Amino acid sequence: MHMKTTYLSSLIKQLEYYKMLGEKAMAQVPDDMLFWQYNAESNSIAVIVNHLAGNMRSRFTDFLTTDGEKPWRNRDAEFENKFTNRAEVMACWESGWQCLLQAVGQLQEEELERIVYIRNDGHTVTEALNRQLAHYPYHIGQIVYLAKMVQDGQWASLSIPRNRSTAYNERKFTQHRGRRHFTEDL
Protein backbone atom coordinates (compact mmCIF):
# COMPACT_ATOMS: atom_id res chain seq x y z
CA MET A 1 0.00 0.00 0.00
CA HIS A 2 1.28 3.48 -0.82
CA MET A 3 2.15 6.07 1.78
CA LYS A 4 -0.73 8.35 2.82
CA THR A 5 -0.45 12.07 3.26
CA THR A 6 -1.22 13.45 6.66
CA TYR A 7 -4.57 14.64 5.28
CA LEU A 8 -5.51 11.30 3.74
CA SER A 9 -4.47 9.24 6.77
CA SER A 10 -6.30 11.66 9.09
CA LEU A 11 -9.39 11.55 6.86
CA ILE A 12 -9.47 7.76 6.94
CA LYS A 13 -9.14 7.72 10.74
CA GLN A 14 -11.95 10.26 11.07
CA LEU A 15 -14.21 8.28 8.75
CA GLU A 16 -13.47 5.04 10.60
CA TYR A 17 -14.19 6.82 13.90
CA TYR A 18 -17.64 7.95 12.72
CA LYS A 19 -18.36 4.51 11.29
CA MET A 20 -17.53 3.04 14.71
CA LEU A 21 -19.75 5.58 16.50
CA GLY A 22 -22.70 4.69 14.28
CA GLU A 23 -22.14 0.98 14.76
CA LYS A 24 -21.79 1.25 18.55
CA ALA A 25 -24.95 3.36 18.72
CA MET A 26 -26.95 0.94 16.56
CA ALA A 27 -25.67 -2.04 18.56
CA GLN A 28 -27.40 -0.63 21.66
CA VAL A 29 -30.79 -0.39 19.93
CA PRO A 30 -33.24 -3.33 19.88
CA ASP A 31 -33.83 -4.60 16.35
CA ASP A 32 -37.38 -3.26 16.03
CA MET A 33 -36.31 0.20 17.21
CA LEU A 34 -34.03 0.65 14.21
CA PHE A 35 -37.31 1.46 12.44
CA TRP A 36 -38.75 3.81 15.07
CA GLN A 37 -39.58 7.37 14.01
CA TYR A 38 -40.28 10.21 16.42
CA ASN A 39 -43.01 11.44 14.04
CA ALA A 40 -44.01 11.15 10.38
CA GLU A 41 -41.52 13.85 9.32
CA SER A 42 -38.59 12.24 11.14
CA ASN A 43 -36.26 9.57 9.84
CA SER A 44 -35.64 6.26 11.56
CA ILE A 45 -32.12 4.95 12.04
CA ALA A 46 -32.78 2.50 9.19
CA VAL A 47 -33.78 5.31 6.82
CA ILE A 48 -30.71 7.36 7.74
CA VAL A 49 -28.53 4.30 7.04
CA ASN A 50 -30.22 3.89 3.67
CA HIS A 51 -29.54 7.53 2.80
CA LEU A 52 -25.92 7.44 3.97
CA ALA A 53 -25.17 4.28 2.02
CA GLY A 54 -26.89 5.62 -1.10
CA ASN A 55 -24.90 8.83 -0.89
CA MET A 56 -21.62 6.98 -0.30
CA ARG A 57 -22.16 4.60 -3.21
CA SER A 58 -23.14 7.46 -5.52
CA ARG A 59 -20.30 9.79 -4.54
CA PHE A 60 -17.52 7.20 -4.41
CA THR A 61 -18.28 4.80 -7.26
CA ASP A 62 -15.79 5.85 -9.96
CA PHE A 63 -14.99 8.84 -7.72
CA LEU A 64 -12.34 10.47 -9.91
CA THR A 65 -14.01 9.88 -13.26
CA THR A 66 -17.79 10.32 -13.02
CA ASP A 67 -20.15 12.84 -11.44
CA GLY A 68 -20.83 12.03 -7.79
CA GLU A 69 -24.59 12.17 -8.38
CA LYS A 70 -25.04 8.98 -10.38
CA PRO A 71 -27.96 8.60 -12.81
CA TRP A 72 -28.88 5.31 -11.07
CA ARG A 73 -29.24 6.97 -7.66
CA ASN A 74 -32.78 7.51 -6.40
CA ARG A 75 -32.20 9.89 -3.49
CA ASP A 76 -35.90 10.28 -2.70
CA ALA A 77 -36.26 6.51 -2.27
CA GLU A 78 -33.42 6.58 0.28
CA PHE A 79 -35.85 8.26 2.68
CA GLU A 80 -38.30 5.36 2.57
CA ASN A 81 -37.75 2.27 4.67
CA LYS A 82 -36.81 -0.70 2.49
CA PHE A 83 -35.57 -3.03 5.23
CA THR A 84 -37.26 -5.73 7.28
CA ASN A 85 -34.50 -6.60 9.78
CA ARG A 86 -31.19 -5.57 11.34
CA ALA A 87 -29.12 -7.75 8.99
CA GLU A 88 -30.45 -5.87 5.96
CA VAL A 89 -29.79 -2.50 7.60
CA MET A 90 -26.24 -3.47 8.51
CA ALA A 91 -25.51 -4.95 5.08
CA CYS A 92 -26.59 -1.67 3.49
CA TRP A 93 -24.47 0.30 6.00
CA GLU A 94 -21.43 -1.84 5.23
CA SER A 95 -21.88 -1.57 1.44
CA GLY A 96 -21.76 2.21 1.62
CA TRP A 97 -18.73 2.30 3.91
CA GLN A 98 -16.85 -0.27 1.79
CA CYS A 99 -17.37 1.84 -1.33
CA LEU A 100 -16.25 5.02 0.46
CA LEU A 101 -13.23 3.58 2.26
CA GLN A 102 -12.01 1.67 -0.79
CA ALA A 103 -12.12 4.81 -2.95
CA VAL A 104 -10.44 6.99 -0.33
CA GLY A 105 -7.85 4.29 0.38
CA GLN A 106 -6.75 4.33 -3.26
CA LEU A 107 -6.23 8.09 -3.46
CA GLN A 108 -2.76 9.52 -4.00
CA GLU A 109 -1.56 12.86 -2.69
CA GLU A 110 -1.14 14.23 -6.21
CA GLU A 111 -4.86 13.65 -6.86
CA LEU A 112 -6.06 15.97 -4.08
CA GLU A 113 -6.15 19.00 -6.40
CA ARG A 114 -7.91 17.20 -9.25
CA ILE A 115 -11.41 18.41 -10.07
CA VAL A 116 -14.35 16.09 -9.51
CA TYR A 117 -18.01 16.95 -9.98
CA ILE A 118 -21.09 16.60 -7.83
CA ARG A 119 -24.23 17.57 -9.75
CA ASN A 120 -21.98 19.39 -12.27
CA ASP A 121 -20.40 21.55 -9.53
CA GLY A 122 -16.63 21.26 -9.67
CA HIS A 123 -14.74 20.50 -6.45
CA THR A 124 -11.11 19.69 -5.82
CA VAL A 125 -10.85 16.17 -4.47
CA THR A 126 -10.03 17.72 -1.09
CA GLU A 127 -13.17 19.88 -1.22
CA ALA A 128 -15.32 16.90 -2.20
CA LEU A 129 -13.87 14.83 0.65
CA ASN A 130 -14.41 17.65 3.15
CA ARG A 131 -17.99 18.01 1.93
CA GLN A 132 -18.66 14.37 2.74
CA LEU A 133 -16.69 14.52 6.01
CA ALA A 134 -19.20 17.15 7.14
CA HIS A 135 -22.25 15.36 5.72
CA TYR A 136 -21.69 11.88 7.16
CA PRO A 137 -21.07 12.90 10.80
CA TYR A 138 -24.18 15.12 10.59
CA HIS A 139 -26.28 12.01 9.96
CA ILE A 140 -24.30 9.77 12.30
CA GLY A 141 -25.04 12.32 15.03
CA GLN A 142 -28.72 11.82 14.21
CA ILE A 143 -28.30 8.05 14.56
CA VAL A 144 -26.60 8.50 17.94
CA TYR A 145 -29.31 10.89 19.12
CA LEU A 146 -32.11 8.53 18.06
CA ALA A 147 -30.34 5.61 19.73
CA LYS A 148 -29.99 7.60 22.96
CA MET A 149 -33.70 8.49 22.87
CA VAL A 150 -34.69 4.86 22.27
CA GLN A 151 -32.40 3.55 25.00
CA ASP A 152 -33.41 6.24 27.46
CA GLY A 153 -31.71 5.36 30.77
CA GLN A 154 -29.95 2.28 29.34
CA TRP A 155 -27.50 4.24 27.14
CA ALA A 156 -23.79 3.42 27.32
CA SER A 157 -21.72 6.49 26.45
CA LEU A 158 -19.75 6.45 23.21
CA SER A 159 -17.29 9.08 24.39
CA ILE A 160 -16.34 10.49 27.79
CA PRO A 161 -19.22 9.54 30.13
CA ARG A 162 -20.89 12.24 32.20
CA ASN A 163 -18.94 13.22 35.28
CA ARG A 164 -15.86 11.36 34.03
CA SER A 165 -14.02 14.25 32.29
CA THR A 166 -11.57 14.76 35.14
CA ALA A 167 -10.56 11.09 35.21
CA TYR A 168 -10.27 11.01 31.42
CA ASN A 169 -8.09 14.14 31.36
CA GLU A 170 -5.91 12.79 34.17
CA ARG A 171 -5.30 9.63 32.15
CA LYS A 172 -4.53 11.62 29.00
CA PHE A 173 -2.09 13.91 30.78
CA THR A 174 -0.16 10.97 32.25
CA GLN A 175 0.76 9.97 28.68
CA HIS A 176 3.84 11.44 27.07
CA ARG A 177 3.20 14.38 24.78
CA GLY A 178 3.29 13.12 21.22
CA ARG A 179 1.77 13.30 17.80
CA ARG A 180 -1.11 10.87 17.48
CA HIS A 181 -4.70 10.81 16.32
CA PHE A 182 -7.24 11.08 19.13
CA THR A 183 -8.90 7.85 17.99
CA GLU A 184 -5.78 5.77 18.66
CA ASP A 185 -6.55 5.16 22.33
CA LEU A 186 -10.32 4.97 22.47
pLDDT block averages, 10 residues each, the chain of length 186 = 73 97 98 96 97 98 98 97 97 98 97 98 98 98 97 91 91 89 76
Q: Cα–chain-centroid distance for residue 66?
A: 22
pLDDT reported for residue 5: 65
Q: Tally Cβ neighbours within 10 Å of residue 9.
A: 12
Tell me what pLDDT residue 153 has: 87
- The predicted pLDDT at position 181 comes to 80
- What domains appear along the chain, each with residue ranges and CATH number? 6-160 (1.20.120.450)
pTM to 2 decimals?
0.93
Which region holds residue 123: left if phi is over 0, alpha if psi is between -120 and 50, else beta?
A: beta
What integer pLDDT is reported at residue 1 of this predicted model?
A: 44
Q: How far apart are CA 127 and CA 121, in angstroms?
A: 11
